[in-house]
A and B are shown apart, each in its own frame.
Chain A
């Protein structure tokens, strides 16, 4: 399977995805909330006024690196190839931060929670951000900003 994509991780991806979906299901069924990371992050640092109780937002956001750390204890080093360019990290972060607030969500909120709820808003948002990401990456490849 997937012989044409030797680097793909279909099994790990699916299992990791199940964990992410389970986390979102726990947030929904136990706490009655959407597990949208951008919204919870904004709430955690008091940028958003409404939304989840601040304690829950803070502890969820702290849980993200903690869970990744525990996983690395079991799996060994986890590959993280960040862009070498500081500018790409900063411009990327600024766009993601502004865009997720304006568009009310990111990959988790719209992509996972909203699409599974068949929300047209989330479906549209997910299609747009995926397409836009693909166009940007294609442009970066065209201008030689991504290594061949």
Chain B
């Protein structure tokens, strides 16, 4: 059951990325391109995504456990430390350089396999590099 739910969520997520234009790295980079041809689309995507999630957190507070699992497993870290800041700086740099973040990277495999897989391979390599450097 939880696998079916995971698949539906993944497909809805990937479908949303494709429908909103976020599978297009040029469009995503356009949002970051404030001194060039600025494209505000990503702001609308963000707004659209925050609405159901803001509601979901309110519902979550009233629930003892999730519908299809025994307990909630949510991050409880509050620390704003160097790792968070440097990680976000590095991620932002890679995002700007490529126009890609992890979601559109994976979703793009179905749309434009060669460059998407190149990005995903580098992404996983970066994750492995982090694992072995810490």
Contact = CB atoms under 8 A, between A and B. Distances in A.
Contact of B12 (A26, A95, A104, A110): A26
Contact of A92 (B43, B79, B94, B127): B94
A127 to B, nearest CB: 8
Contacts of B25: 80-83
Chain A interface bracket (under 10, 10 to 19, 20 to 34, 35 or more) = 35 or more
A97 B89 CA distance: 12
Contact of B126 (A13, A65, A79, A94): A94
Contacts of A3: none
A67 B97 CA distance: 26
B110 A61 contact: no
Interface residues of B, number: 116
Interface in B9-42: 9-27, 29-30, 32-42
B96 A28 contact: no
Contacts of B60: 28-29
B23 to A, nearest CB: 6
A124 B85 contact: yes
B67 A29 contact: yes
Interface string A82-119: 11001011111111111111111011101111011100
Interface in B108-134: 108-112, 115-116, 118-131, 134
Contacts of A86: 118
A6 to B, nearest CB: 10
Interface in A35-71: 35, 37-38, 41-42, 45, 47, 51-53, 55-57, 59-71
Interface of B: 2-3, 5-27, 29-30, 32-57, 59-60, 63, 65-69, 71-75, 77-80, 83-103, 105-112, 115-116, 118-131, 134
Given A23-B16, A117-B53, 17 more contacts: A5-B40, A10-B41, A13-B42, A47-B124, A60-B10, A64-B13, A64-B103, A65-B14, A78-B18, A95-B91, A95-B94, A96-B91, A98-B87, A101-B87, A101-B126, A106-B102, A146-B36
Interface of A: 2, 5, 7-35, 37-38, 41-42, 45, 47, 51-53, 55-57, 59-72, 75, 78-83, 86, 88-104, 106-108, 110-113, 115-117, 120-121, 124-126, 128-138, 140-141, 146, 148
12 contacts: A9-B44, A16-B22, A30-B5, A32-B69, A68-B17, A69-B111, A93-B126, A97-B128, A99-B86, A99-B126, A102-B90, A124-B88
